[in-house]
Amino acid sequence: MRAAVLGAGSIGCVVGAALSETAEVRLIGRPRVVDAVREHGLRVTGYDGSEHRVPAGTLEATTHAAAAEGCDVLLVTVKSGATQEAVREVQPYLRPDTVVVSLQNGLRNTDRIREVLRAHAVLAGMVSFNVVQTDPAVLHRATSGEVMVADDPAVADLADLASRTWLPFRTRTDMVEVQYAKLLLNLMNAVVALADRPLKECLGERDYRRVLAACQREALAVFAAQGVRPARLGPIPAAAAARVLTLPDALFTRLAAAQLQVDPNARSSMWDDLQRGRTTEIEELQGAVVQLGAEHGVATPACARMVELVHDAEDAGPGRGAWSGPGLLAEVATGR
């Protein structure tokens, strides 16, 4: 099987590195990543002490969309805002039977892809673990989690090949509900970015968790108005997560240990974007809750304020200030 990864950043490189054990993989990404992979290959470490190396030359790495030519599967891992532009660039090189899988954050990317690739099978996927890029060719899986894809005959071969690697794909018949559940988890990305602190530290401080809980409660109200019940991705049901987040620190820490393993290096992709002066995906996360809330008449002041604060941080650049837990909670609670 030939698989192309479109937007080979942190997530794309980890997935590509694993698949290279059983498939021919081509990475399409930024020059910084491409040059490093060509020279050094890839090294993927894990929160559990694991390490996987892909020697230089094993993966084809390029900045050119033409690398997608003749691929059986296209894995899309670009930022949500770049989805349609990136897909249009590779469209001339895809076979009619190329299967396209979105492994992106947000709820709307499969629809965006289908608007461009109307004749292709386009399926939803989800990556539930956090990746920290410590070097362009060195990636660290900083939390537990897995890759999920829609249960469809079109991805049967891909799922089979992945099952023989250190990163198997789990097929799900409820990917819509899975994506909504992932959005609930991803609402933490903005908290970590604004706090400018590691994920584990933010989860260990009750006020930061209260900010996340406020955003999750609004999201759950919006989802209920839509008639969507998020999937259960761990021991704690999605509907109960916001209540658990507000527990005292010691009790929350004990309960969270059964849900998610996090090492001290974990941050968020939004934090990384702010560090590098890039546009974030806030409009696909809290912004999506605000948009859906407007459509269904559900108030979302906490999410709306988080969107404003992240945009302020984008404008401020890498020299922005960091929000304390009490300060961020007070800001979001007022909904100013």
Domain that holds residue 284: 178-334
Q: What is the CATH number of the domain that holds 201?
A: 1.10.1040.10
Considering the domain architecture, whether residues 322 and 231 belong to the same structural domain is answered as yes
CB 59 within 8 A of CB 20: yes
How many other C-beta atoms are found inside a 10 Å radius of the C-beta of residue 321? 11
Q: Checking DSSP bridges between strand 42-46 and strand 73-76, what pairing results, if any?
A: unpaired
In a shared domain, residues 192 and 125: no
Domain tally for the chain?
A: 2
Residues 176-185 pLDDT 10s? 999 999 999 9
pTM for this prediction: 0.93
Q: Are residues 146 and 186 in the same domain?
A: no
In Å, what is the CA distance from 45 to each residue of 67, 113, 206? 27, 31, 30
Indicate the burial class of 97 (C-beta count within 10 angstroms; 0-12, 13-18, 19 or more): exposed
Give tens-digit pLDDT for 253-277. 887 766 678 888 889 999 999 998 9
Answer yes or no: do 185 and 124 share one domain. no
pLDDT tens-place string over residues 209-255: 999 999 999 999 999 999 999 998 877 888 888 899 999 998 888 87
| φ, ψ for residue 318, nearest 5 deg | -60, -20
Regarding whether 166 and 207 lie in a shared domain, the answer is no
Distance CA 243, CA 254 (A): 15
C-alpha dihedral, 288 to 266 to 23 to 126, nearest 10°? -20
Contact, 162 vs 299, CB < 8 A?
no
Q: Quick one: 160 and 99 in the same domain?
A: yes
Find tokens 């997530």 and name the residue: 11
Q: For the segment 153-200, what is each residue's pLDDT rounded down to a tens digit? A: 999 999 999 999 999 999 999 999 999 999 999 999 999 999 999 999
Beta-bridge mates of residue 171: 149
